[in-house]
Amino acid sequence: MYTSKIIKKDETMHPGISGGKFAEFQDAVIVFDLGGTYFRSGLYLAYEGLSEIRQQPAFSFHSAPNKSIADLKQDLVDYLVKTALYYSHRFNTNQVSISLGAALNGRNGIVYGSGPLWGNDNSSFDLLTLLRQAASELTWHIVNDVTAGLIHYGNNLQDTDIRKVLLLTISTGVACRLLDTRNQHIALDEFGLQGEIGHLPINLCFEGQALELGCDCGGRNHVAAFASGRGLRALSKLLAECKPVWWQSSKLAALQSHGLTFETALYQALEHNDEFANTLLYLTTQPIAEILRNALTLDPEIDRIVLTGGVVVNLSTYYRIFLTRHLSEQGIYLSSRFDPAFFERRLAIASSAEVNNLMGAALYATTYSKREYYA
């Protein structure tokens, strides 16, 4: 049985609102951020921010391998309804907005699939209809999590000269969205999709040998298989199998043997300039660099590239160093020669406070859900 916990407030949250006060406002929104590792919920109030944040492990095929996908989806519905009704009864609001880490149709909310949550299952999941049937007294909204993060980031953007912002999240999953700040437009294809880069096939080699890894979605050699959080750990294991002596003598191996988590050990190994850790980060950033190079070549109006998500934020400066190394080694034809700072000027790493999916979900419900072109 999963139990949720209240987590520490950040600067986007109101510093202490009693339950009764929310009843005075009509713009309170119950918000969720459903990722592949954690589910978060909270309450948003305009001019006050977020409060009552709760977090629990995600219901996924990784956390509950013995459950069927149908059962996991039903668990998700039950969790959303139970949690939303708790907030609704306590704070007297009926607006609910969900930031969901899944490929979904931005026009009607149909969920197509989520590798981190449901693996290779890609059967259409009409989550909105199920929620409306289960709790018709609530008004439900669903938005893709990367879109939610970009809505929040774009809403606080101060630089009026930026024409387009490309946001990439590299965490349990990998995806991106592109926002035209001049009209707040996020374009969608005929299926209501944009930016599902995590499942693009790539070729990644080490010492002349092709590297092979499976993706959560069931495919092989996708961007997420090498660049996501799980992909990074899988890539480390693959390199260790390819070069066992090198691995055993590495600082990364030593730190992990002392009980450090992979993420903490990797950061410390990078600080020690460990060759294995450096090679690992160089390889995992290569697919992301190729995507950015192609994006900037095809769309010269991208003035800001925002990188966020657990992998990027945890590795921070080191991630940026290796990513820009790729971009400088093989830049954009002519443009990066004319301007050696072509990539550096555009790149930014954003914290969870700057790209907050819960805040984005709230903004989506209060403003952007009325705009057909938002995913």
Q: Is residue 19 pLDDT above 90, yes or no? A: no
64-73 confidence digits (pLDDT tens): 999 999 999 9
Q: Give the C-alpha separation, 239 to 235, whole Å.
A: 6
What is the model's pLDDT at position 158?
87
87-108 confidence digits (pLDDT tens): 999 999 999 999 999 999 999 9
One-character DSSP codes across 3-29: --EE----TTB-S---GGGGGG-S--E
Q: Which of 195, 198, 153, 192 is nearest to 173 (CA)?
A: 198
Q: Give the C-alpha separation, 85 to 80, whole Å.
A: 8
Q: Give the C-alpha separation, 228 to 122, whole Å.
A: 19
What is the model's pLDDT at position 146?
97
113-131 confidence digits (pLDDT tens): 999 999 999 899 999 999 9
Q: Which of 198, 159, 149 is nearest to 353 (CA)?
A: 149
What is the model's pLDDT at position 46?
85
Segment 141-167 mean pLDDT:
95
How large a percentage of the chain has pLDDT more than 70? 91
What is the model's pLDDT at position 374?
52
Q: Is residue 23 pLDDT above 90, yes or no? A: no
CB atoms within 10 A of CB 222: 25
Query: Contact, 70 vs 119, CB < 8 A?
Result: no
Strand 95-100 with 29-34, pairing: parallel
The set of residues, in sequence order, having a beta carbon less than 8 Å from that of 309 and lying 6+ positions away, is 168, 169, 170, 171, 174, 229
CA distances (Å), origin 15, targets 123, 172, 201, 337, 361: 42, 30, 45, 49, 20
The set of residues, in sequence order, having a beta carbon less than 8 Å from that of 254 and lying 6+ positions away, is none
CB atoms within 10 A of CB 33: 26
Strand 302-308 with 347-349, pairing: parallel
What is the model's pLDDT at position 330?
87
Written as six digits, the tokens of 53 are 């944040």
Q: Which of 205, 279, 295, 287 is nearest to 236 (CA)?
A: 279
What is the model's pLDDT at position 3?
45
How large a percentage of the chain has pLDDT more than 90? 85
Query: Contact, 186 vs 373, CB < 8 A?
Result: yes
Segment 299-312 mean pLDDT:
97
Written as six digits, the tokens of 342 are 């072509």
What is the model's pLDDT at position 346?
95
Query: Contact, 334 vs 340, CB < 8 A?
Result: no
Q: Is residue 6 pLDDT above 50, yes or no? A: no
Amino acid letter for position 283: L
* Mean pLDDT of the chain, nearest integer: 91
One-character DSSP codes across 300-313: TTEEEEEEESHHHH
Q: Which of 191, 199, 187, 224 is nearest to 301 (CA)?
A: 187
What is the model's pLDDT at position 306?
98
What is the model's pLDDT at position 9?
43
Q: Is residue 16 pLDDT above 60, yes or no? A: no
Helix (H, G, I), strand (E, B) or coil at 36: coil
pTM of the predicted protein model: 0.90
Q: Is residue 219 pLDDT above 60, yes or no? A: yes
Q: Give the C-alpha separation, 167 to 150, whole Å.
A: 6
Query: Contact, 93 vs 365, CB < 8 A?
Result: no
Segment 341-349 mean pLDDT:
94
Residue 371 binned pLDDT confidence (cut-offs 50, 70, 90)? low
What secondary structure letter does DSSP report for 249? T
CA distances (Å), origin 68, targets 56, 104, 117, 119, 214: 20, 21, 12, 11, 20
Q: How is the chain split into domains, by residue range?
A: 5-144, 157-349
Q: Is residue 44 pLDDT above 60, yes or no? A: yes
**Secondary-structure class of domain 5-144 per CATH:** alpha beta
Higher pLDDT, 46 or 300: 300
**Secondary-structure class of domain 157-349 per CATH:** alpha beta
What is the model's pLDDT at position 323?
96
Written as six digits, the tokens of 6 are 């209240």
Phi (first) and psi of residue 166, to 5 degrees: -105, 120
Query: Contact, 54 vs 119, CB < 8 A?
Result: no
- Packing angle of the helix pair 275-298, 310-329 (nearest 10 deg): 70
What is the model's pLDDT at position 24?
43
Min mean pLDDT across 1-5, 32-36, 180-184 is at 1-5
Segment 71-85 mean pLDDT:
98
Residue 26 binned pLDDT confidence (cut-offs 50, 70, 90)? low
